[in-house]
Amino acid sequence: MSEPAGMETERIVVEEEKEAAALIQQREQETTPTENPTTCLPRSPVKSKTLTKQIRILLTPVSATCGEHNKHLPQKRLLEQFSSCEESFGKEPKAKKICSDYSSPETRAISHGVSEVVSNTDSHRCGSVVEAVVSDLETDGDSESDRNDEEVSTQLSAYERKRLKNITENAKFFASLKLFESAASLRNMTPRVQSPKIQRIKHSKAKTETTCRRSMRLQKVDPLSIPLPEAQAHPEPSVDEYVKPKVIETPTCNLESYQARLRKMVLREDSVAKVVRNRIHSVAIHPSESRTLVAAGDKWGQIGLWDLDSGLEDGVHTFVPHSQAVSCMYFSLSNPAHLLSVSHDGTLRRGDVTRAVFDEVYRNEEDDLSSFDFLAADASTLIVGMWDGEVAVVDQRTPGASAELFVELNSKTTRTIHTNPLSRHYFVAAGAGDVDIYDVRHLKASGSKPVVSLAGHTKSVASAYFSPVTGNRVLTTCADDTLRIFETTCISSSVPVLTTIRHNNYTGRWLTRFRAIWDPKRDDCFVVGSMSRPRQIEAFHATGDLVHSFLSEDYLGSVCSINAWHPTRYILAGGNSSGRLHVFKE
């Protein structure tokens, strides 16, 4: 069993001390009477001065990495070892203090090299190594030192002697340079310049008066930096003023001139195209005066845009912003590049047709969206209808996909929502068997009562729309095969029926239900799909007279259930149940 590393090191040190003491005693016995009995080195003042310097170098603490033999030897043991060697040469005890106080960096390399040589030699050579180094560093050696050199040379190998010689020469060379003394003198000569202190000037915080921010509307400033006229103070209108008849001039074009323009509208071969894959549920025409762009939404959430001026191959672009039927679509009143659409998947999206991006404006995960319309002329706020008889007020400027107000109406179903073109706070909702007009200012979340109900419908109503110019009429399409026109010039407790038109509205389960719509250029004419043969789109006057039938034996062979007018031009688009659009234009 091997001894521990500490005990083995201590045993080696004790043996080395004994061998060194025996060697020194043997040399003292061989010394002649003429020699100094206390040391084997001369004691002249010059020699002692030089010797003290060399002993001081030799007794510098050894690095932990010097030598394989002494890497585990404690530093205290090494000092004691070299102290015993020093006493064997007859030095005074004060030399030990000089060695222990030594800390000059100029001989650090020399002491390191010498210590490494001593650690790599046998323990009985300790005294001889010290003698050899001292004798090499002395300038005037005596005969006794020569004899010691000869003894060391006989005990050291050729490599060790050459190493000692190199260490001695390097020590003399570095001592002659006096690098450390020069560095110390330079540090003393160089004045220490203190960096100037920079005083930072603290500026006093300016006292700002908090002012209330006012919108551009309250500041009477238009977004285009055009000042708006000052509003005149008016007293709060009474309820009677809201129900007074609206006197607005109707278009000057008479019925005969209007009929002549409708006859010029024809269906050509390049005006028929399959835009979407499935049954069309909604159609919208872009209000551009220079190009003809028609949008159609089908049963499974696909929206097709058809640019008739680009030809059939490059003119149709399709998108899928929804997952279910696109029930209603309109181009924005303020930004015609925006196409807004609602779907049975419960989302209202705003599509930018120039970038093909559809952003979500409103979402209702619990109910299907059936229709919507703009409450504000700038299209910032909307009223959205749902199939379960509820409506939501949505503001496009509000971040997120939530509604500003959610209200239950007096109906089980809401199929269409449409606002009055002049008094936009009024909207008409068509539902299951009833049509009601509401005031959005009086809606309550707990339940709202209509301002007036349009009675007379015996079955479910597919649509109800205000007349586009004055809003003085409401046109309804009912499943009882009847088209009705109500007088809404005075919105009071009762609204009379102006006209009743018998019309075949039975479309069945495979066709989209008819929706009679007004011509936006007139307040007294509208169009509706027809089940008659040959297939056609019928135009009626408010009196119930048939004004014109849009048909084409060559290019129209299906029922156009959903139709849309251009707001200013004489262009009419009809969509069928196979995803095909038929566009009549002058």
Tens-digit pLDDT profile for residues 510-532: 999 999 999 999 999 999 999 99
> CATH class for domain 255-585?
mainly beta
Residue 312's H or E segment, with its range, is helix 312-315
Find the mean pLDDT for residues 354-380.
93
Eight-state DSSP code of residue 227? B
Per-residue tokens: 150 = 């000869």
Q: Would you place residue 310 in the very low, low, confident or very high pLDDT band (cuts 50, 70, 90)?
A: confident
- Calpha distance 376→217 (Å, rounded): 14
Question: Per-residue pLDDT tens for 311-339?
Answer: 767 789 999 999 999 999 999 988 989 99
* Residue predicted with more confidence, 466 or 8: 466
Report the sign of the C-alpha dihedral through residues 532, 478, 513, 273, in that order: positive
* Residue predicted with more confidence, 163 or 302: 302
* Residue predicted with more confidence, 258 or 87: 258
Question: Can you give the pLDDT at residue 147?
Answer: 56
* Amino acid at the residue 95: A
* Residue predicted with more confidence, 362 or 49: 362
Eight-state DSSP code of residue 344? T
Residue 87 has pLDDT above 50, yes or no: no
- Calpha distance 334→548 (Å, rounded): 32
Q: Tell how far CA 477 is from the center of its chain.
A: 49
- Calpha distance 473→437 (Å, rounded): 12
Residue 453's H or E segment, with its range, is strand 452-454
The DSSP bridge partners found for residue 581 are 273, 575
Per-residue tokens: 213 = 């921010």
Residue 295 has pLDDT above 80, yes or no: yes
* Residue predicted with more confidence, 60 or 386: 386
Question: Can you give the pLDDT at residue 103?
Answer: 41
CB neighbours of 505 closer than 8 A, spacing ≥ 6?
Answer: 462, 477, 478, 479, 480, 481, 482, 483, 513, 514
| Highest-scoring range by mean pLDDT, 5-14, 150-159, 548-557 | 548-557
Question: Can you give the pLDDT at residue 22?
Answer: 73
pTM attached to this predicted model: 0.59
Find the mean pLDDT for residues 164-188.
70
Find the mean pLDDT for residues 549-553.
96
Question: Can you give the pLDDT at residue 544?
Answer: 96
- Calpha distance 580→277 (Å, rounded): 8
Question: Can you give the pLDDT at residue 75?
Answer: 43
CB neighbours of 228 closer than 8 A, spacing ≥ 6?
Answer: 220, 221, 222
Q: Which of 481, 468, 556, 548 is nearest to 513 (CA)?
A: 481
* Residue predicted with more confidence, 455 or 63: 455
Question: Can you give the pLDDT at residue 153?
Answer: 56
- Calpha distance 90→560 (Å, rounded): 130
pLDDT above 90 as % of the chain: 51
Question: Can you give the pLDDT at residue 104?
Answer: 46
The DSSP bridge partners found for residue 583 are 573
Q: Would you place residue 236 in the very low, low, confident or very high pLDDT band (cuts 50, 70, 90)?
A: very low
Residue 134 has pLDDT above 60, yes or no: no
Question: Per-residue pLDDT tens for 46-82?
Answer: 333 334 444 444 444 444 444 444 444 444 444 444 4
Question: Can you give the pLDDT at residue 355?
Answer: 87
Judged by average pLDDT, the poorest of 45-59, 189-203, 525-539 is 45-59
In which residue are the tokens 């070892």 written?
81
Find the mean pLDDT for residues 492-506.
92
| Highest-scoring range by mean pLDDT, 139-143, 213-217, 233-237, 571-575 | 571-575
* Residue predicted with more confidence, 6 or 262: 262
Question: Can you give the pLDDT at residue 563?
Answer: 98
Question: Can you give the pLDDT at residue 180?
Answer: 59
In which residue are the tokens 């010097």 written?
66
* Residue predicted with more confidence, 39 or 492: 492
Q: Would you place residue 1 in the very low, low, confident or very high pLDDT band (cuts 50, 70, 90)?
A: very low
- Calpha distance 341→322 (Å, rounded): 9
- Burial of residue 488 (number of CB atoms within 10 Å: 0-12, 13-18, 19+): buried
Which whole-number Å values give the CA distances from 329 to 104, 161, 325, 530, in the listed order?
Answer: 95, 105, 11, 22
Q: Are 416 and 370 in contact (CB under 8 A)?
A: yes
Find the mean pLDDT for residues 537-546.
97
Question: Per-residue pLDDT tens for 392-408?
Answer: 999 999 999 999 999 99
Angle at 570 between CA 564 and CA 573, to 5 degrees: 30
Question: Can you give the pLDDT at residue 396?
Answer: 94
- Tell me the domain boundaries of the chain: 5-175, 255-585
Question: Can you give the pLDDT at residue 156?
Answer: 80
Average pLDDT, rounded, for the chain = 76
Question: Per-residue pLDDT tens for 424-448?
Answer: 999 999 988 889 999 999 998 877 8
Report the sign of the C-alpha dihedral through residues 164, 165, 169, 175, in that order: positive
Question: Can you give the pLDDT at residue 8?
Answer: 54
Rg value, the chain, Cα: 55
